[in-house]
Amino acid sequence: MFACFCLWFIILEFWLVCYLLTTPSLQTVSGAVMNALVATNRNFKLAARLLGLDSKLEKSLLIPFREIKVECTIPKDDGTLASFVGFRVQHDNARGPMKGGIRYHPEVDPDEVNALAQLMTWKTAVANIPYGGAKGGIGCNPGELSVSELERLTRVFTQKIHDLIGIHTDVPAPDMGTGPQTMAWILDEYSKFHGYSPAVVTGKPIDLGGSLGRDAATGQGVLFATEALLNEHGKTISGQRFVIQGFGNVGAWAAQLISEQGGKIVAISDITGAMKNSKGIDIPSLLKHAKEHNGVKGFHGGDPIDPKSILVEDCDILIPAALGGVINRENANDIKAKFIIEAANHPTDPEADEILSKKGVVILPDIYANSGGVTVSYFEWVQNIQGFMWDEKKVNSELKNYMTKGFKDVKEMCKTHDCDLRMGAFTLGVNRVARATVLRGWEA
């Protein structure tokens, strides 16, 4: 039965790829985004079949609750006017307010935002936090705009959508090209219309109600997820050899926290270069070097290597923490790791998934592994609503509880449906959203 499902979905996936490539409005979607969209829809469909969902309910769960497109015109510093297009897709609110980041990037488009909003619906459900999914963004290059221009753009965007977001409606957060300052501007502009409302966004500066531990949250969640997986296999982090692709926020925090637990980082890379050291890289020294030189290139604590080879370096555990689609059919056979922890979004293509599965490689999927960030965002929202802030020890303690329980829940789904961790996670998330939808009376 399961084999028949897989064959059916290979046909579906082929059709969807053809559709994406021949639909004019979707031809601008980048390869990585298209692959993520195909994979997310494929995994959802397979999870829906495993759960035996009604076809009407299945269709209802895929269609976004609301799609928003607005024009944002601002005066630039030189006196000219510039117009940008902003998007917000609110995918599902069956389990609570919708949640998702706002990104500033030249290639932001409605199809990308749609795919990411849907993924947030399943991710928040897997984490078992009371949210639905959303995503937004503005098509712009933040590097070409001054701070004052970015502030004006953010405030105009907020003015256009302030009636459609809110503490119990849709709670934005930072994403690519945005950060705590962006959230501070949204908070201030929103509060002009609705009164002081710190819980309307998360990822804020600490001084405006941001949560301690938020900066490290995704990396901290990766640590806890890795501990849970290794514990299942009778192992601990101490003594394991790690390779980490990406030394941005997530990769750097994961490297630091893993090394503090006795893990050995034998290779690491970022956009500037890559290196390896079989005895283990001195992560505190590398962090200092990367801060001073804007990257790992030139660090003398390891031997330089081709960044393209980082994924196939000899190790026990591979953590892709950079871009999507980096593990594919071209390199999957050469990967030596026994475990892969997906700290990045959709780093493994479906074809590579199949190859690695046949090799016996255990993959901890992104929908669970990198959910630490949104979980601590939930903690920030809770603190703001309560008006009672937690210390960092409590934040990390609660995060560990959620990540540990989340892994157990995923494993239970794997046993129930005889599937791998990725499908176990998707089935868990889809089931929770479907149950909430039915209980609320979706056909009324």
**Crossing angle (nearest 10°) for helices 372-386 and 217-232:** 120
Strands of the 81-92 sheet, one edge to the other: 66-75, 81-92, 132-139, 98-105, 170-174
> 3-class DSSP state for residue 265?
strand
- Amino acid (1-letter code) at residue 278: S
Backbone angles phi, psi at 329, to 5 degrees: -65, -20
Torsion of CA 275, 280, 281, 284, to 10 degrees: 160
Q: Are 405 and 22 in contact (CB under 8 A)?
A: no
Looking only at the bridges linking them, the beta strands covering 303-305 and 273-276 are: antiparallel
Catalytic site residues? 135
- Per the document, the length of the chain is 444
Q: Exposed e or buried b for every residue in 139-156, given b needs 16+ CB within 10 A? A: bbebeebeeebbbbbbbb
Half-sphere exposure of 284 (CA within 13 A, CB side): 1
User: Angle formed by the axes of helices 392-417 and 110-127, to 10°?
Assistant: 90
Question: Quick one: which of 199, 198, 203, 211 has its CA closest to 176?
Answer: 203
Give dist(CA 383, CA 217) in Å, integer. 16
Distances (CA, A) of 382 to 14, 15, 36, 153, 207: 43, 43, 31, 28, 16
- Residue 25 burial class via C-beta count within 10 angstroms: exposed 0-12, middle 13-18, buried 19 and up: exposed
d(CA 144, CA 177): 12
Cα 204 to Cα 87, 185, 253, 383, distances in angstroms: 21, 10, 19, 12
